[in-house]
């Protein structure tokens, strides 16, 4: 598993762009998010089919995760 540390500002945008540019049909994609300051709240991940949908904010799938410490 690849672990990447990204500063809290902008990590979600980078993640969304990466996922929108990859073709993951029939594959599993593992994502590890680190460096989050608070254990409260949620992490919301929007998945887009392509860059055009991303630019138009047309969400293909929305995933919501409760934060938890590891």
Higher pLDDT, 28 or 57: 57
Per-domain boundaries in the chain: 11-66
Is pLDDT at 8 greater than 90 in this prediction?
Answer: no
pLDDT interval class at 43 (50, 70, 90): confident
pTM score, whole prediction: 0.50
Please tell me the predicted confidence (pLDDT) of residue 3: 54
Is pLDDT at 12 greater than 80 in this prediction?
Answer: no
Tokens of 21: 């540019």
Residue 18, CB-side half-sphere exposure with 13 Å CA sphere: 11
């Amino acid at each position: 598993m690849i672990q990447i540390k990204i500063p809290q500002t902008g990590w979600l945008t980078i993640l969304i762009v990466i996922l929108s540019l990859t073709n993951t049909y029939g594959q599993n994609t593992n994502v590890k998010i680190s460096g989050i300051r608070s254990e409260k709240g949620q992490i919301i991940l929007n998945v887009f089919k392509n860059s055009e949908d991303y630019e138009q904010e047309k969400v293909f799938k929305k995933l919501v995760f409760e934060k938890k410490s590891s």
